[in-house]
């Protein structure tokens, strides 16, 4: 917000706030540097076996060698594709199913127990079935990702649709609005903030789904590298893949936050 006059006091307040923010960032980076440094130190001095603990330098070397033999971006690409495809499908399908459930109370009541059970069921229990149905390729993992994300997407949107302000519903009805008009002019626009929060939750769900899928069955991807590395006791590979996963997840989260900022700016005005 712009003020026509900016008092000294206000300037002091703003400066203090800036300083505080800088301090927080410095400490954040400091904590990371400290952790990495200690990790490197204890392994380099042989206090802890680097074969079990790995170390930052060994992780860097592993990633470099993955890059050198061309498999780095291949594995990243596979995981990213599975995650994004599963995310997109779960979000779109979840939204549409939530709409259907909002539209028909009967359908909603009929399906309620099934949704509750599906929500409570640990999706990993379906692993063997998914392998048999979809094989061992990416399809199986995408399916797992959808399965993990879709119920949350449905429930999130449905509760937003149902929570539409009853006063505004009455207003629309008093104007003689039909169900489609109520949906289009009231329910959808007022559920917009929930749509954004649903996207945020679903990003996290998609990562859980894709990595879980790769744990169960895969021939490529970061989850595959972690499992494979564990099986052959290459902890460097496990740590490297985990590190890459952290980077990707953080990157995707940052993208969603950016998207949220753009969308909310357009919505709130």
Interaction site with another protein (CB under 8 A): 165, 167-168, 170-177, 181, 185-186, 189-190, 192, 267, 269
Enter the tokens of residue 84.
């994004």
CB closer to another protein out of 126 and 169: 169
CB closer to another protein out of 106 and 266: 266
Q: Shortest Cβ distance from residue 165 to another protein (Å)?
A: 7
CB closer to another protein out of 1 and 68: 1
**Measured between alpha carbons, how far is 261 from 110 in angstroms, rounded to an integer?**
38
CB closer to another protein out of 193 and 230: 193
Do 67 and 77 contact (CB within 8 A), yes or no? no
Neighbour-count burial of 156, counting CB atoms closer than 10 A to its CB (0-12 exposed, 13-18 middle, 19+ buried)? buried
Q: Shortest Cβ distance from residue 179 to another protein (Å)?
A: 12
Please list, residue by residue across 2-12, b when 16 or more beta carbons sit within 10 angstroms of its beta carbon and e when fewer do. eeeeeeeeeee
**Measured between alpha carbons, how far is 187 from 95 in angstroms, rounded to an integer?**
13
CB closer to another protein out of 49 and 165: 165
Enter the tokens of residue 250.
């953080």
CA angle (96 as vertex; 94, 98 as ends), nearest 5: 65
**Measured between alpha carbons, how far is 73 from 66 in angstroms, rounded to an integer?**
8
Q: Shortest Cβ distance from residue 219 to another protein (Å)?
A: 47
Q: Shortest Cβ distance from residue 49 to another protein (Å)?
A: 59
**Measured between alpha carbons, how far is 258 from 255 in angstroms, rounded to an integer?**
5
**Measured between alpha carbons, how far is 32 from 47 in angstroms, rounded to an integer?**
21
CB closer to another protein out of 103 and 192: 192
Q: Shortest Cβ distance from residue 171 to another protein (Å)?
A: 5
Q: Shortest Cβ distance from residue 108 to another protein (Å)?
A: 18
The residue ranges of DSSP E strands in the chain, in sequence order, are none
């Amino acid at each position: 917000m712009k003020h026509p006059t900016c008092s000294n006091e206000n300037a002091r307040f703003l400066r203090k706030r800036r300083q505080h923010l800088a301090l927080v960032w410095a400490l954040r980076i400091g904590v990371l540097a400290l952790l990495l440094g200690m990790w490197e130190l204890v392994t380099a001095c042989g206090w802890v076996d680097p074969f079990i603990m790995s170390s930052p330098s060994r992780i860097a070397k592993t990633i470099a060698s993955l890059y050198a033999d061309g498999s780095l971006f291949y594995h990243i690409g596979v995981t990213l594709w599975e995650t994004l495809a599963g995310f997109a499908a779960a979000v779109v399908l979840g939204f549409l199913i939530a709409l259907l459930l909002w539209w028909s109370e009967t359908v909603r009541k009929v399906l309620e127990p099934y949704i509750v059970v599906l929500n409570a069921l640990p999706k990993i229990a379906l692993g063997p079935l998914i392998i048999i149905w979809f094989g061992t390729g990416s399809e199986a993992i995408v399916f797992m990702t959808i399965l993990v994300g879709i119920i949350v997407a449905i429930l999130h949107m449905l509760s937003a649709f149902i929570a539409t302000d009853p006063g505004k519903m009455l207003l629309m009805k008093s104007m003689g609005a039909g169900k489609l008009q109520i949906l289009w002019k009231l329910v959808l626009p007022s559920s917009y903030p929930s749509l954004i929060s649903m996207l945020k939750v679903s990003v996290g769900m998609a990562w859980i789904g894709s990595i879980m899928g790769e744990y169960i069955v895969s021939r490529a991807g970061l989850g595959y590298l972690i499992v494979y590395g564990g099986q052959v006791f290459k902890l460097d590979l496990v740590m490297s893949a985990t590190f890459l996963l952290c980077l990707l997840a953080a990157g995707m989260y940052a993208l969603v936050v950016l998207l949220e900022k753009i969308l909310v700016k357009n919505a709130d005005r």
